Amino acid sequence: MLKIFIDPGHGGTDPGAMANGLLEKYLTLAISLKIKSLLSQYENVQVKLSRETDKYLSLSARAKLANAWGADYFMSIHINAGGGTGFETFIHTNASNASVANQNVIHPEILIPLGFKDRGKKRANYLVLRETKMPTILTENGFIDNASDAAKLKQTDFIDKIAQGHVNGLVKAFGLKKKAQSTQPKKQPNTPERKLSGMKPNWKDWQWKEAAEIYKKARVKGILSSDEWEKKAAAKNLTFDEIEYLNLVLNGRLL
């Protein structure tokens, strides 16, 4: 059984990089949860995240969690900042041969669907790469303070592409095989059907910064998934799908 540890960068009181109405901690969590969901389609693989909600973890705590779990591979997800553009990956300055080999496979697979500038395969003495006992990689998926990169990062379809690229890299690096499709129809719960509009949230128009402010307020007042939250969202003229999507954000269950 292959054990893959996914580390969504930042979280809680550590928002990470902030620009263009985006917060890094939300983007990394969205990508990581999607990676976990996609990997559930494959055989003989277990996935654990350092966090599945918006909470703070020290860098050492992240490495310790991966080590204690006995992970076979560690993947830390980040969004870049600092006036650049594009995609890059890092392994430790004294990386193992396995880390080097995996970076050589995974890096281009992530890059293929993104259309980002390739900033290259790099090395750094980052703590999460240094203190983990297994092969590792840290990915920087675009620049939050670059208008062009940020415009893509606001699109849910693009977040899905980033996650799929990571999964494609892992599949190729570790030879993962998809589970056989069951021919048995899934038993549906006895709940009323909820009709969706069929529209996807247009994150070019919806500001992540405002969502973050509402999230913070909802946490304080304890109304994460209450009718009060949905009424507030509806008052902002959001579609049903957008309300559903933001409820997932509020509950730390972004798909």
- Catalytic residues, by residue number, are 140
Residue with tokens 């300055």: 93
Tell me if residue 77 falls in helix, strand or coil. strand
Using alpha carbons, select from 156, 163, 158, 164 the residue that is nearest to residue 248. Answer: 156
β-partners of residue 65 are none
d(CA 163, CA 62): 20
d(CA 128, CA 212): 26
Alpha-helical regions (H) of 92-206: 97-111, 127-130, 147-153, 156-174
Which tokens belong to 87? 């995609």
Which tokens belong to 59? 């860098």
Using alpha carbons, select from 145, 107, 114, 116 the residue that is nearest to residue 23. Answer: 145
